[in-house]
């Protein structure tokens, strides 16, 4: 397991030198943020980002994300050009030495919450999703700004895009995803870039839009679209764990054992009602996800890829990008690393004791 940390570039209030001070932290998860969606990422820009991170004493471990243009998700004729651009971006990333790419296939909106600064009992604040609140929201209201809302669209363009998706069924979205996957994974295989699709967050439909990467059956179907270790998952415990139907440790063991987990987001959530949850500290006791079992599963199938502590509360008076403060994510990283170290030592000691007992038994025999 390689500990990594999300960094939003020079505009991020969390500095690279602070991230490096987190015990066990070696890698950065980032992206090129000033290239329009669908355009090719210049090799020079990727190398510049990589060098900046290298000078800070870490490596650029994962690109999150190379966004998928909406025309690809909608299956429009223009998708072929955008797919060609995506393929070239993967080639450029590989040439720069980056070999893990996270992305998603969520229509219009990325991860979405109903509140950014919900106060908890300890006076920290956190991100919250309340389905009753979301159902009353108008996605065309230009005054509404929440995580996951693409503010690059003007109201009229956003309305047109949402209406376009009104004509797209889940099955059609599956077909468009398959078209995309069958085009990019051969390139990813050729340049040895492991692709990692992020689950839909939350794992159910919002605003009537189709969402398909939501549960074990759908993850199985996705992986069957192209059977390759380069076509894998970003296993996000918080996104999938928002649904009580998803057994997170069991799913992780299942897909990890099959070699299809290429990246891990470790986040805890507390389910508070039907399709409602709040984000909490990473500790198992804080939420609905048993992080000990999550880390045990990673150890058992020998996960050696990147993992990042995903989202955190805003604590100790920190301000900045909601969910992406330094302090709580740093605590989460140390907690996860400690769990993993304890699990690994426990297994090694158990194995050593078993070997010793076997030797003694043979000597007595």
Rounded Cα distance between 161 and 173, Å, is: 14
CB 83 within 8 A of CB 184: yes
Q: For residue 253, what are its two tokens?
A: 């063991």
Active-site annotation holds for 69? no
Q: Which of 265, 282, 328, 340 is catalytic?
A: 265
Q: What are phi and psi of 43, to 5 degrees?
A: -60, -40
Max CA-CA distance within the chain? 83
- C-beta of residue 84 within 8 angstroms of C-beta of residue 182: no
Please tell me which residue in 201, 230, 234, 236 is annotated as part of the active site.
236
| Contacts (Cβ under 8 Å, ≥6 apart) of 263 | 62, 64, 100, 102, 194, 196, 232, 233, 234, 235, 305, 306, 307
Is residue 236 flagged as an active site residue? Answer: yes
CA distance 19 to 11: 15
Query: Is 311 known to be catalytic?
Result: yes
Catalytic annotation present for 254: no
Distance (Å, rounded) from C-alpha 365 to C-alpha 359? Answer: 10
Q: Which of 168, 179, 178, 31 is nearest to 96 (CA)?
A: 31
User: Which of these is catalytic: 198, 226, 230, 340?
Assistant: 198
Q: Of 69, 176, 282, 311, which is the active-site residue?
A: 311
Residue of 200, 201, 310, 328 with catalytic role: 310
Q: Which among 129, 165, 230, 324 is annotated as catalytic?
A: 324
What positions carry a catalytic annotation? 198, 236, 265, 310-311, 324
């Amino acid at each position: 397991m390689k500990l990594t940390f999300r960094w939003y570039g020079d505009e991020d209030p969390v500095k690279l030198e602070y991230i490096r001070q987190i015990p066990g932290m070696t890698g950065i998860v980032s992206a090129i943020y000033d290239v329009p969606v669908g355009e090719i990422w210049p090799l020079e820009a990727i190398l510049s980002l990589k060098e900046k991170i290298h000078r800070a004493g870490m490596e650029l471990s994962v690109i999150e994300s190379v966004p998928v243009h909406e025309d690809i998700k909608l299956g429009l004729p223009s998708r072929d050009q955008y797919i060609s651009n995506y393929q070239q971006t993967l080639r450029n990333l590989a040439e720069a030495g980056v070999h893990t790419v996270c992305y998603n296939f969520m229509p219009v909106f990325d991860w979405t919450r109903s509140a950014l600064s919900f106060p908890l009992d300890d006076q920290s604040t956190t991100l919250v999703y309340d389905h009753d609140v979301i159902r009353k929201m108008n996605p065309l209201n230009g005054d509404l700004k929440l995580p996951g809302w693409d503010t690059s669209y003007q109201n009229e363009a956003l309305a047109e895009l949402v209406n376009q998706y009104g004509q797209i069924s889940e099955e059609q979205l599956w077909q468009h995803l398959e078209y995309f996957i069958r085009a990019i994974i051969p390139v990813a295989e050729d340049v040895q870039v492991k692709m990692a699709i992020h689950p839909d967050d939350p794992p159910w439909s919002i605003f009537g839009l189709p969402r398909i990467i939501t549960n074990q059956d759908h993850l199985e179907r996705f992986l069957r679209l192209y059977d390759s270790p380069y076509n894998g998952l970003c296993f996000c415990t918080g996104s999938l764990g928002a649904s009580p139907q998803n057994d997170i440790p069991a799913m992780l063991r299942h897909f990890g054992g099959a070699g299809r987990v290429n990246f891990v987001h470790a986040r805890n959530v507390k389910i508070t009602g039907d399709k409602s949850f709040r984000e909490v500290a990473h500790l198992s006791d804080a939420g609905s996800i048993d992080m000990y079992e999550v880390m045990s599963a990673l150890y058992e199938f020998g996960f050696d890829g990147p993992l990042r502590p995903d989202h955190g509360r805003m604590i100790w008076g920190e301000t900045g990008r909601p969910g992406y403060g330094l302090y709580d994510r740093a605590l989460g990283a140390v907690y996860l690393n400690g769990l993993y170290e304890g699990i690994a030592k426990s297994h090694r000691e158990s194995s050593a004791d078993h070997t010793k007992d076997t030797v003694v038994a043979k000597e007595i025999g």
